[in-house]
């Protein structure tokens, strides 16, 4: 402090009057500094006896408190570090100076000297933003209109709101399920397209290879005989016949190889096509392979017996098909019945036709609904001396199969049904079928069927009329003439389908398979069964396919029915079960000959009457 601000020194105290210095005051709540003009003059020092006893140490003071007023005498606080010291107060004006006090000893002077007044701390300056840290964006001022609409409360939920939310939730779930289903359907279609395209590409490669083989065979030069030890050179006619024979053999080998390749590829690579093909079939229960009517079931192990029925149902027919409607002709009847037998050794095939007006004894059968393709619980009692087509009309495929097993004793393990529209689609799929016509065919009910003669290629509608005609002008055999035309047509159709022109044409082959799958119905006729049959028949000689009609008297009785020759029929069916030669044929050959007692067998697809 400046010299003028110091108090006069006090007289020294005697040793006994001296007291120990008071402990430092840790903290005292400071009051704001008093301006110099308001300060009181210093009081004279008190005598030793009037001095107060030491006070207990007060609470610690805060660092930011201002110094206590000068009228309160305190002991000296311990020195503070240099960084915590505050600047000294400015010198007081002369009018505020206290009178000089008596001098005190140095140690007492230091103890009684009040601490320097601390200046009030200045307000802390705002910190600068850290380098690189983005400044917060200023808030957008809120308009008065927005202030009115702002709220922290939820909207009221009433019944209509609950219903609306429930509907929205349901629609959202349906939409998600629809999207998932659409994605799965797209993946499935892509997979099926890949599987279906693979066999077609392989067929195309096989066809190209076969065509190259045929061209190389045709371009091979003919060798001439020059050695005297060898036979004389052949004539031009002999060479032409030999080349034709080689080409014929090569064509048959190509057809057999293509059929084998078709079976192999379909079995190994077309799983998707197989699934699609099976889905096109209409399954109808028809078989009873454990029936007591089956004779010597052990001997028939491995045999394949197909019961084929051509149904005359008009369900689903249109006016353009010219077959009538379901309103005109109700129900369904077996317009054609055939039994195809293929023995276990696969060395021959026999197809037996049954006249539609054959007189039979119909067994008890459950009634069949042709529109729904299903059976009812109603049992229709059996009847005698009725037509064969009534078995299908009353009891459907199951009743027809039951009667055939009772008559033949054979185990029927496949049933195939074909309707009018499906038959036409199959013929159109292969580009028509060629038949031989000796004279124009005109039916009194169906009209003109074929006006040309010779080899004629007929389409689907014309082919249907050809196999259905029963009232042909000039044909007194009626149903037998129709059976003959049906057998000839089926033989020509099989030849066309098995030809390399269809097997090596993916378009025609796919169309025929599709039409066959859509047109047929029955029992145990899936892809696996068809492939097994195709594999076993790929080496079958076409001349070993025999067509015949079940033995009858050949004349209608008074009821207009064809009469069956039971003994002759039993002999034919027993020969099929035993896999022996048919009646009327030699042991060396399975080709039957004409029978004088009503049976009309034929060979290689040519039926004689």
The pLDDT value recorded for residue 409 is 94
Residues 401, 411: Cα–Cα separation, whole Å: 9
Write out pLDDT tens, residues 385-411.
999 988 988 999 999 999 999 999 999
**113-147 burial string, b = 16+ CB within 10 Å, else e?**
eebebbeeeeeeeeeeeeeeeeeeeeeeeeeeeee
* pLDDT band (50, 70, 90) for residue 565: very high
Is 295 a residue whose pLDDT tops 80?
yes
Q: Which domains, and CATH codes, for the chain?
A: 286-418+541-609 (3.30.420.590)
pLDDT, mean of residues 208-232: 54
**Is 95:64 a contact under the CB 8 Å cutoff?**
no
CA angle 452, 454, 460 (to 5 degrees): 60
- The more confident residue out of 264 and 285 is 285
Q: Which of 45-59, 134-148, 194-208, 509-523 has the highest mean pLDDT?
A: 509-523
* pLDDT band (50, 70, 90) for residue 522: confident
Nearby residues of 181 by Cβ (< 8 Å), 6 or more positions away: none
| 184-193, 298-307, 511-520: range with lowest mean pLDDT | 511-520
Cα dihedral 52, 56, 57, 59, rounded to 10, equals: -120
- The more confident residue out of 127 and 221 is 127
Is 227 a residue whose pLDDT tops 60?
no
The pLDDT value recorded for residue 2 is 53
Residue 307: helix, strand or coil by DSSP? strand
pLDDT, mean of residues 244-266: 57
Closest of 324, 323, 334 to residue 486, by C-alpha: 334
Closest of 360, 424, 438 to residue 395, by C-alpha: 360
Is 208 a residue whose pLDDT tops 80?
no
CB-based burial label for 407 (10 Å; 0-12, 13-18, 19+): buried
Is 99 a residue whose pLDDT tops 80?
no
Predicted TM-score of the model (pTM): 0.52
Residue 297: helix, strand or coil by DSSP? helix
Mean of pLDDT over the chain: 71
* pLDDT band (50, 70, 90) for residue 563: very high
The pLDDT value recorded for residue 72 is 43
The pLDDT value recorded for residue 495 is 77
The pLDDT value recorded for residue 71 is 47
Give percent above pLDDT 90 in the chain.
15
Write out pLDDT tens, residues 452-495.
999 999 988 888 888 888 888 888 777 788 888 888 888 888 77
């Amino acid at each position: 402090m400046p010299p003028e601000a110091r108090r006069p020194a006090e007289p020294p105290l005697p040793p006994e009057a001296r007291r120990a210095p008071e402990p430092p005051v840790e903290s005292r709540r400071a009051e704001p500094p008093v301006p110099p003009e308001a300060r009181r003059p210093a009081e004279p020092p008190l005598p030793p006896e009037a001095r107060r006893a030491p006070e207990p140490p007060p609470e610690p003071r805060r660092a930011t408190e201002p110094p206590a007023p000068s009228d309160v005498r305190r002991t000296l606080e311990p020195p503070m570090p240099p960084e915590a010291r505050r600047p000294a107060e400015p010198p007081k004006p002369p009018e505020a100076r206290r009178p000089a006090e008596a001098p005190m000893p140095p140690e007492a002077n230091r103890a009684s000297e009040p601490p320097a007044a601390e200046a009030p701390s200045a307000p802390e300056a705002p910190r600068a933003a850290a380098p690189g840290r983005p400044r917060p964006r200023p808030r957008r001022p809120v308009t008065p209109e927005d202030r009115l609409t702002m709220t922290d409360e939820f909207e009221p939920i009433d019944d209509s709101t609950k219903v609306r939310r429930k509907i929205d939730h349901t629609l959202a779930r349906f939409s998600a399920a629809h999207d998932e289903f659409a994605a799965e359907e797209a993946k499935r279609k892509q997979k099926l397209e890949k599987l279906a395209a693979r066999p077609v590409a392989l067929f195309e490669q096989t066809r190209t290879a076969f065509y190259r083989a045929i061209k190389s065979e045709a371009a091979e030069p003919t060798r001439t005989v020059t050695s005297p030890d060898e036979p004389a050179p052949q004539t031009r006619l002999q060479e032409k016949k030999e080349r034709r024979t080689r080409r014929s053999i090569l064509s048959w080998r190509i057809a057999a190889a293509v059929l084998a390749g078709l079976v192999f590829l379909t079995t190994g690579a077309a799983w998707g096509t197989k699934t699609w093909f099976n889905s096109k079939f209409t399954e109808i229960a028809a078989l009873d392979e454990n029936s007591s009517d089956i004779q010597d079931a052990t001997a028939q192990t491995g045999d394949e017996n197909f019961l084929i029925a051509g149904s005359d149902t008009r369900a689903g027919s249109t006016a353009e098909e010219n077959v009538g409607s379901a309103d005109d002709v109700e129900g369904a009847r077996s317009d054609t019945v055939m039994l195809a037998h293929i023995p276990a050794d696969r060395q021959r095939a026999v197809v037996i036709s049954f006249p539609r007006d054959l007189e039979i004894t119909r067994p008890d059968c459950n009634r069949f609904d042709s529109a729904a393709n299903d059976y009812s619980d109603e049992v229709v009692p059996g009847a005698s001396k009725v037509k064969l087509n009534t078995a299908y009309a009353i009891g459907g495929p199951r009743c027809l199969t039951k009667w055939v097993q009772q008559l033949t004793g054979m185990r029927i393990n496949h049933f195939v049904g074909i309707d009018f529209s499906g038959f036409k689609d199959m013929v159109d799929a292969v580009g028509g079928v060629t038949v031989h016509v000796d004279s124009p065919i005109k039916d009194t009910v169906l009209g003109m069927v074929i006006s040309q003669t010779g080899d004629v290629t007929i389409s689907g509608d014309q082919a249907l009329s050809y196999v259905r005609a029963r009232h042909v002008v000039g044909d007194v055999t009626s149903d037998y003439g129709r059976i003959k035309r049906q057998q000839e047509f089926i033989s020509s159709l099989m030849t066309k389908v098995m030809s390399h022109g269809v097997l090596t044409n993916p378009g025609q082959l796919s169309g025929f398979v599709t039409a066959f799958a859509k047109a047929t119905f029955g029992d145990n006729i899936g892809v696996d069964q068809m492939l097994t049959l195709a594999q076993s028949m790929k080496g079958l000689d076409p001349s070993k396919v025999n067509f015949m009609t079940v033995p009858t008297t050949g004349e209608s009785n008074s009821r207009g029915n064809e009469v069956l020759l039971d003994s002759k029929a039993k002999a034919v069916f027993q020969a099929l079960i035993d896999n022996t030669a048919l009646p009327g044929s030699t042991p060396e050959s399975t080709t039957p000959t004409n029978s004088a007692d009503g049976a009309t067998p034929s060979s290689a697809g040519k039926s004689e009457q």
